[in-house]
Amino acid sequence: MSTDENQAAPRRPWMLQLGIGVLLVVACGAFAGMGLFMYNMGRDMSNMTQAVEQMTRDVHSMAGNMNGMAADMLRMGDSMVNGQKRMGDDFAQVAADMRTMTGGMASMSRDMGIMGGQIANMNVNMAAMNQAMHRMSGDMALMRHDIHKFTEPEQIMMPFLR
């Protein structure tokens, strides 16, 4: 073999080898970068999935709370309607009682007027009774004088002895 033949054998130039080496290093770096990217993306997707699951639980809890609040509001509305009806009935009863009391007050006022007239009559009668007692008292004084005379009959028979 001659030197010409050795030279004719395909030899890769060192630049090509260097290019292939650099290409392999870049491919390994890209492969590692893609692996890290996929790992991080998987972890992020897992975190997002957990967050969505938590959000679903929160929404479910919130829906339950909203249903409870709606039921409470319905009960409160019913209570308000019933309370207003009861208050209206109570006010109607108060109004009826006030009418009865007003009638009672009017009747009492008439009775007080009649009683005032009767008291005036009683005052007149008491004045007449006082006058009669005054006359009776005077009559009793006269009677005492006469009774005194009768207890000493000798003075009546013989007034000059005195």
Parts of the chain with a pLDDT under 70 = 1-12, 149, 153-162
Quick check: is 81 in a domain?
no
Structure tokens at 48: 């997002």
Position 162 scores a pLDDT of 56
Quick check: is 23 in a domain?
yes
Quick check: is 83 in a domain?
no
Position 91 scores a pLDDT of 84
pLDDT tens sequence across 20-52: 999 999 999 999 999 999 999 999 999 999 999
Alpha helices, DSSP H, located in 152-162: 153-157
**143: containing domain:** 118-154
The whole-angstrom separation of Cα 31 and Cα 43 is: 18
Q: How many CB atoms lie within 10 A of CB 116?
A: 10
Number of structural domains the chain divides into? 2
Quick check: is 49 in a domain?
yes
Q: Is the pTM of this model over 0.75?
A: no
Position 7 scores a pLDDT of 56
Quick check: is 36 in a domain?
yes
Position 31 scores a pLDDT of 93
Quick check: is 107 in a domain?
no
Residue 135 vs residues 110, 123, 124, 144: alpha-carbon distances, Å: 38, 18, 17, 14
Task: Collapse the DSSP code of 2 into the 3-class scheme (helix H, G, I; strand E, B; otherwise coil) and give the result.
Answer: coil
Quick check: is 138 in a domain?
yes
Complete DSSP assignment for 93-138: HHHHHHHHHHHHHHHHHHHHHHHHHHHHHHHHHHHHHHHHHHHHHH
Quick check: is 105 in a domain?
no
